[in-house]
Structure 1
Amino acid sequence: MAEEIQLYAQNRELSWLRFNQRVLEEAKDTRVPLLERLKFVAIFTSNFDEFFMIRVGSLFDVAQTDKKNRDIRSGLTASQQLERIFEEAAPLYKERDRVYAEIKKELNPFGICGLDIKELKQQERKYVKKQFKEQILPLLSPQIIDANHPFPHLVNKELYVIASLKMTKGGKEKLLKGIVPVPAFVSEILYLPGQDLRYIRVEKVIMEYLDTVFEPYEVSEANYICVTRNADISPEDEAMDVTEDFRKQMRKALPKRKRMAVVRLETAEKLQPEMEQFFCQKFKITPRQIFRTKMPMKLDYVFALSEKLPEEMRKTFVYPPFSPQPSKQVEPGSMMCQIRKKDVLLFYPYDSMEPFLRLIKEAAYDPSVMTIKITIYRLAKKAKLVEYLCAAAENGKEVTTLIELRARFDEQNNIDWSERLEEAGCRVIYGFEDFKVHSKICLITYRNKGEIQYITQIGTGNYNEKTAAMYTDLSLMTADSRIGRDGAEFFNNMATGNLKGDYRELLVAPFGFKNRILDEMDREIEKGSRGRIIMKMNSLTDVDCMKKLEKASRAGVSVDLLVRGICCILPGVPGHTDNIRVTSIVGRFLEHPRIYSFGEGDCQRIYIGSGDMMTRNTQKRVEVTCPILDQEIRQQIGGYLKVMLSDNVKARVMQMDGSLKKKQEAAALVDSQQVFMDRAMEERPQKKKLPWWKRFWKR
């Protein structure tokens, strides 16, 4: 069976590299404003960093501990996967350097210039030298490396200026190396005086004045480097004794990331053979893990460049401003009353998150509300949601927050919020030892005319007020008692550690999500060529799902997969996936909804939720997926899917070899995200006029 799936599957890591290459395409798109293109280079770089920290780090662990382990989709061992990754990563570095240089060249005529020392004007050189001596040099901590000064620990993703040093004393030559950490608390770039936006990176300034830093020595081979360390804390590290406070356990685990093995070394200049050998020995790496880049290794600063520009000039270089709009489905007044009358669907970031926050605030003060229960995976640094939950607890409501402390790279933020919630009187519980709680569900229980009733919110994205303006997601709010009863059962099961709960409507992983989706696929397979499957998700790696999709394709079912990132199933493979089409959309906003649609017309069945069809989601996480029971909202989501499948601007179609290609040019250009922004900006429709999504759905 493993050999059969390899006929129509690809390795997940190689699929991810092709997705990130697609991100770089946005940086090359001349229709995208120049500073936005630069941001896509930064996003590509950030993605690459996390890929090496997590995926490459994990593969190194597997390669060392289980040499016979093979990826079921490609048949490659961990070592073979690493070879392929390094092989395909090198050209991406060169392509990124080329794209960055092209954007930089296009920005220069407008006075937006990232400069090298040799490009500075005479007055600018004087300014930089003065700033170095007064503001940078006093903060440096240079070190020589010899028998009395051992090689220091290099922090993950921090910059270090290095050089070879020579001193002649008493006719004897002393050779050693010097290293200077670029202070993390110093701005990444030094802005130069004048009307234009001219700047130079601090590491280049330090490199220029290394003679001053290492004054007694003759400096050569000046360079700057950055190490990437394995940041994938193993399950054993995440395990805990049941008697120990989980927060304490996570605090112990977080510092380990800073000291884990090096998986990549980036350099600004080509290393001389002796220097290369030195670093390979120190970091226990091979030359294939060393990558040279001609562009900055840290690009956080590019997101602030536009703020330095005059307002009129800024309009030329960034996207036209867009703010999430008031939902046309929501009226002013009580959210609880509206939801009791009819289900409400919000589509972020086109719709504002405000109606959901208004619901929680209202529930915090409504005397009929008894309990509020919510799962939390990621929150913004400043969160109104937490304020309202704390207010509810202080008003005597029973507030339960199930917080997942292992939301990667957000652990400390979640620890801080959990403490704040506990201080306010909220009941805080945590995820399971072996299963992350990734679900997005909120349950409000209230008493109405002596009866206990529910309002349930289920979403595809986190309760993060910042990302709700940057990621596309769906948020359903319903008073349907069937969903509410399942929601109450879910929270009871989470509180008692029962992962095998029985639910009538909700699809809950790890035991009730994948099987229900596979059953829905079977219903479409029975229809043969009349069957229809549309699935939108971030990634697809689950082998059982892939096998079922292949079976559906062989049965003649028409299958469309909207997969933003990793997709391990290859479309169009003769005799296997002929009827499967895979589309990836990358645009201004991060595509994030998980939507599972089966059938068409009045018989269409749609589910939305937190889980992708990835093995980690279907088997190792607690996910909640909800059926859309309201016919009008089903049509609404069906309209959204049709727009996305019609996209021929930001969409790319996967080929049989796993590459992504642009759709053929058409007379009518459809940028799905632009369509949704335009519709959100429309005036509230008159009652007699059909909403746009219904008009589109009826086409």
Structure 2
Amino acid sequence: MQQDQLYYPKELSWLSFNQRVLQEAADKNNPIVERIRFLGIYSSNMDEFYRVRVAEVKRQIYIFLDEGNEEAAQKTKELMEQIQQKVIVMTESFEKIYDEIVKGLTRYNIYLIDKNALTDFQRTWLIDYFRNKILRHIAPILIHKKVDLVHRLNDFGTYLYVAIHKKDRATKYATIELPTEAMSRFILIPPEKSRKKKHIILIDDVIQLCLDIIFKGFVEFDELEAYSFKVTRDSEYSINDEIDESFVEKMSESMKQRLIAEPVRVIYDADMPMDMIKNLRKRLKISSFDSLLAGGAYRNFKDFIGFPNVGRAYLENTPLPAISSRVFTEFDTVFDAISHKDILLYYPYHRFLHFTEFVRQAAFDPSVKHIRLNIYRVANKSRIVSSLIDAVDNGKTVTVVVELRARFDEEANIEWSKTMTDAGIRVVLGSPSFKIHSKLCVVSREEKGELVHYSHFGTGNFNEKTAKIYTDFSLFTRNEELAQEAIWVFDLIQLPYRRNKFQHLQVSPLNARTKIQILVRQEIQNAIQGLPSGITLKLNNLVDAELIDDLYRASQAGVKVQAIVRGMCSLIPNVKGMSENIFITSIVDRFLEHPRVMIFQNAGNPKVIISSADWMARNMDNRIEVGCPVYDEDLKQRIIQIVGIQLKDTLKARVIDADQTNRYVRRGNRKKLRSQVEIYHFLKGLE
């Protein structure tokens, strides 16, 4: 089999993942407000796809052409064409689903209207609303030769392209950014007659309705017309090597590169006249490899993630109140609880409050001497950071590793690093060579004259906001050997030349790949010897060729491999002679599946590891990641049961096959099982 037939292209696989999100928007079994929010998630995902994946493909084309590698350039161009064709199909599907949902909302007396469907009362009210609430946030850019539009546009903004027509004069153009950072994009219009009917209009339409108010007195015009468009840029940036600049200064400069990077995608209203399209294309310097796509009247659907439910409660998902951990609540302090027994939490089913309480108590406990924590992404108003500052005020040593290169959170992390440094926290700004993606916290406490360490190993970020919508494991333990190795990870970040030998933890880039391969090969040996064997994985992405090859070899040796892969999957399952013993599903539902888990049958004595690392080359070789074995037998079984429930999902699981067509798992005679809801009830029953 040829090399390119062994792996499904990761970019196309990512699009298949976003198709699964689109399936949720199309699924009439989902509450209708949740369906329109899934369109927002889809749109946000697609923005990131172009910023990261498409931008990378585009760069590869240029690199291959510069190197004179015509064959590689042509192959990459073909991939780009496949991406564009698939996106066109998905965009058409998106528009149909949106129209269907808008019509469906009317059955619940919710009307999403545009400027052409207004009554006189609504028009009058909106014009007044515009003058009093919106106009103050509008600052058009009048385009002329000296205006570099590429550099002036905000990658995360939504814009109107305005044509200013005046008889016997050349048409002039302007752009208006929608002020969605300052106010909601959705405006609820007061009832004119019946209070039963709710009318919502987008701020886009209100601005278009009031264009003359914006320009009158400043430019001459006979007619104004405006159409939406959106720019997506390359998110990559380079860090300069000037020795006299601090890492923060280098990162700040690098962020400016992103702000002025050339577009990789421009989406515009399909009704935009051709002369306006040509002018826009010229102003944005669109190259032959960029994507210029026509779409509906509204751009930047990511705002629809926050679409308001102005109707009955059943129009959105029934809340699943977060569960309190009985082990934590039975003891006076978190340290007493963890001393009693290792504790495993699974967010958002469990309360993230337990972790914030862990840090809060550590901040004022007189026995605590040192707190170590690493930050990848935190909430805008982080209680964790506040507690760490309190800890310094209480005389404790606090060391925080801040990863400045957390994609799209760079600016926030730069500000957090400054805030914490000013507060007296010892801030370590990651590593110039590797991103820090581990999820570690170690609290060192003096007990009976000795220093005792309480450790946290997780699969998700220390972020109060995402902990409500991402599923992630958190392990709290007093295991001294695990804690010592966690401290070694902090040492590794600060003193990379010092290499400790990790016996327990999988630490990228030192030993994670090797440790995983040893475990896979042991399963192969067990299968050959007739011993119980099997591998179960739960990952966000499975694209590392070397590890995929190991799974192919395991399959060929008779090892049964089951995997739940949320996003990209380059492994091709169920191919005779290569992967017939591999079965992969993907689950997309109300919560974002985020944990990384490895379960190895190990001849009947399962090994269970939770990790921050996906099976991607970057996670194995170019980041500092940590995988932690779970030693408590009860907790091991709990993870195995949770993953087992997901493997039995008959409602939200899709099969990952050779073509990644996203067909749902066939239920047959099995009962309906929605794993995320089932897991909630399973965990609630344990408490």
Cα distance per residue 1:261-291 (max 9 Å; x no partner) = 0111111234444333333333232587222
Query: 5 Å matches for 1:422-433?
Result: 422-433=421-432
Report the Cα offset of residue 395 of structure 1.
1.9
> Which of residues 92, 103, 106 is equivalent to 2:104?
106
For residue 442 of structure 2, what is the aligned residue in structure 1? 443
Cα 1:122–1:336 shift into 2, 3 Å: same
Confirm or deny that 1:679 pairs with 2:678. no
Confirm or deny that 1:321 pairs with 2:324. no
For residue 227 of structure 1, what is the aligned residue in structure 2? 231
The secondary structure found in structure 2 opposite 1:553 is: helix
- Give the TM-score normalised by the residue count of structure 1: 0.90
Asked whether the 8 Å contact 1:306–1:314 carries over to 2, the reply is no
Confirm or deny that 1:521 pairs with 2:553. no
Report the Cα offset of residue 461 of structure 1.
0.5
Query: 5 Å matches for 1:248-327?
Result: 248-285=249-286, 289-294=291-296, 296-306=298-308, 309=310, 313-327=311-325
Report the Cα offset of residue 436 of structure 1.
0.3
The 10-residue stretch of structure 1 (343-352 or 152-161) with the greater mean CA deviation from structure 2: 152-161
The secondary structure found in structure 2 opposite 1:352 is: coil
1:660 aligned partner, one-letter code: N
Residues of 2 paired with 1:654 and 1:547: CA distance?
17
The secondary structure found in structure 1 opposite 2:171 is: strand
Residues of 2 paired with 1:599 and 1:76: CA distance?
44
Residues of 1 paired with 2:458 and 2:354: CA distance?
13
For residue 172 of structure 2, what is the aligned residue in structure 1? 177
Residues of 2 paired with 1:13 and 1:140: CA distance?
37
Residues of 2 paired with 1:594 and 1:334: CA distance?
29
Query: 5 Å matches for 1:134-173?
Result: 135-137=133-135, 140-142=138-140, 145=143, 153-168=152-167, 173=168
Cα 1:208–1:269 shift into 2, 3 Å: farther
Cα distance per residue 1:488-528 (max 9 Å; x no partner) = 22222222123754211111001211110011000001122
Identity %, equivalent residues: 30
Cα 1:209–1:424 shift into 2, 3 Å: closer
2:171 aligned partner, one-letter code: L
Residues of 2 paired with 1:70 and 1:320: CA distance?
58
Residues of 2 paired with 1:619 and 1:533: CA distance?
22
Residues of 1 paired with 2:673 and 2:114: CA distance?
41
1:644 aligned partner, one-letter code: Q
For residue 348 of structure 1, what is the aligned residue in structure 2? 347
Report the Cα offset of residue 301 of structure 1.
4.6
For residue 691 of structure 1, what is the aligned residue in structure 2? none
Asked whether the 8 Å contact 1:240–1:433 carries over to 2, the reply is no
Residues of 1 paired with 2:320 and 2:562: CA distance?
30
Residues of 2 paired with 1:230 and 1:299: CA distance?
19
Asked whether the 8 Å contact 1:164–1:221 carries over to 2, the reply is yes
Cα 1:149–1:431 shift into 2, 3 Å: closer
For residue 572 of structure 1, what is the aligned residue in structure 2? 574
Cα distance per residue 1:454-484 (max 9 Å; x no partner) = 2211000011111112111111111112212
For residue 54 of structure 1, what is the aligned residue in structure 2? 52
Cα distance per residue 1:304-323 (max 9 Å; x no partner) = 4436x3xxx43121111223
Cα distance per residue 1:641-695 (max 9 Å; x no partner) = 11110111111111222222101124411111101222344484xxxxxxxxxxx
Query: 5 Å matches for 1:532-611?
Result: 532-599=534-601, 602-611=604-613
> Which of residues 639, 645, 648 is equivalent to 2:647?
645
The secondary structure found in structure 2 opposite 1:6 is: helix
The secondary structure found in structure 2 opposite 1:463 is: coil
1:257 aligned partner, one-letter code: R
Cα 1:513–1:135 shift into 2, 3 Å: same
1:535 aligned partner, one-letter code: L
Cα 1:416–1:150 shift into 2, 3 Å: closer
Confirm or deny that 1:217 pairs with 2:214. no
Report the Cα offset of residue 140 of structure 1.
3.9
Report the Cα offset of residue 243 of structure 1.
4.8
The 10-residue stretch of structure 1 (41-50 or 295-304) with the greater mean CA deviation from structure 2: 295-304
The secondary structure found in structure 1 opposite 2:312 is: helix
Report the Cα offset of residue 533 of structure 1.
0.4
Asked whether the 8 Å contact 1:609–1:623 carries over to 2, the reply is yes
Residues of 2 paired with 1:297 and 1:119: CA distance?
20
Cα 1:432–1:142 shift into 2, 3 Å: closer
Asked whether the 8 Å contact 2:327–2:337 carries over to 1, the reply is no
Report the Cα offset of residue 144 of structure 1.
5.0
Confirm or deny that 1:117 pairs with 2:115. yes
For residue 389 of structure 1, what is the aligned residue in structure 2? 388
1:207 aligned partner, one-letter code: Q
Residues of 2 paired with 1:190 and 1:548: CA distance?
54
Residues of 2 paired with 1:139 and 1:384: CA distance?
31
For residue 671 of structure 2, what is the aligned residue in structure 1? 668
The 10-residue stretch of structure 1 (40-49 or 381-390) with the greater mean CA deviation from structure 2: 381-390
Residues of 1 paired with 2:243 and 2:148: CA distance?
40
Cα distance per residue 1:525-566 (max 9 Å; x no partner) = 112274200111100111110110111111111001111000
The 10-residue stretch of structure 1 (651-660 or 10-19) with the greater mean CA deviation from structure 2: 651-660
Residues of 2 paired with 1:374 and 1:605: CA distance?
26
Cα 1:240–1:390 shift into 2, 3 Å: farther
Residues of 2 paired with 1:355 and 1:69: CA distance?
54
Q: Which runs of 5+ in 2 are unaligned?
A: none
Residues of 1 paired with 2:28 and 2:508: CA distance?
43
Q: Which runs of 5+ in 1 are unaligned?
A: 685-699
Report the Cα offset of residue 593 of structure 1.
0.6
Asked whether the 8 Å contact 1:164–1:175 carries over to 2, the reply is no
For residue 206 of structure 1, what is the aligned residue in structure 2? 207
The 10-residue stretch of structure 1 (660-669 or 211-220) with the greater mean CA deviation from structure 2: 211-220
Asked whether the 8 Å contact 1:67–1:77 carries over to 2, the reply is no
For residue 368 of structure 1, what is the aligned residue in structure 2? 367
Cα distance per residue 1:148-186 (max 9 Å; x no partner) = 877573332423323444433xxxx22223223134245
Residues of 2 paired with 1:358 and 1:150: CA distance?
50
The 10-residue stretch of structure 1 (156-165 or 657-666) with the greater mean CA deviation from structure 2: 156-165
Report the Cα offset of residue 201 of structure 1.
1.9
The secondary structure found in structure 1 opposite 2:408 is: coil
For residue 189 of structure 1, what is the aligned residue in structure 2? 186
The 10-residue stretch of structure 1 (423-432 or 277-286) with the greater mean CA deviation from structure 2: 277-286
Cα 1:488–1:214 shift into 2, 3 Å: closer
Cα 1:626–1:683 shift into 2, 3 Å: closer
For residue 402 of structure 1, what is the aligned residue in structure 2? 401
Cα 1:487–1:222 shift into 2, 3 Å: closer
Report the Cα offset of residue 388 of structure 1.
2.1
Asked whether the 8 Å contact 2:10–2:570 carries over to 1, the reply is yes
> Which of residues 618, 621, 628 is equivalent to 1:619?
621
The secondary structure found in structure 1 opposite 2:308 is: helix
Residues of 2 paired with 1:132 and 1:363: CA distance?
50
Residues of 2 paired with 1:202 and 1:225: CA distance?
14
1:663 aligned partner, one-letter code: V
Number of residue pairs matched by the alignment: 669
For residue 238 of structure 1, what is the aligned residue in structure 2? 239
Asked whether the 8 Å contact 2:562–2:583 carries over to 1, the reply is yes
- Give the TM-score normalised by the residue count of structure 2: 0.92
The 10-residue stretch of structure 1 (525-534 or 10-19) with the greater mean CA deviation from structure 2: 525-534
Residues of 2 paired with 1:497 and 1:148: CA distance?
48
Asked whether the 8 Å contact 1:70–1:77 carries over to 2, the reply is no
For residue 25 of structure 1, what is the aligned residue in structure 2? 23
Cα 1:69–1:204 shift into 2, 3 Å: farther
2:333 aligned partner, one-letter code: S
For residue 477 of structure 1, what is the aligned residue in structure 2? 476
2:187 aligned partner, one-letter code: L
For residue 689 of structure 1, what is the aligned residue in structure 2? none
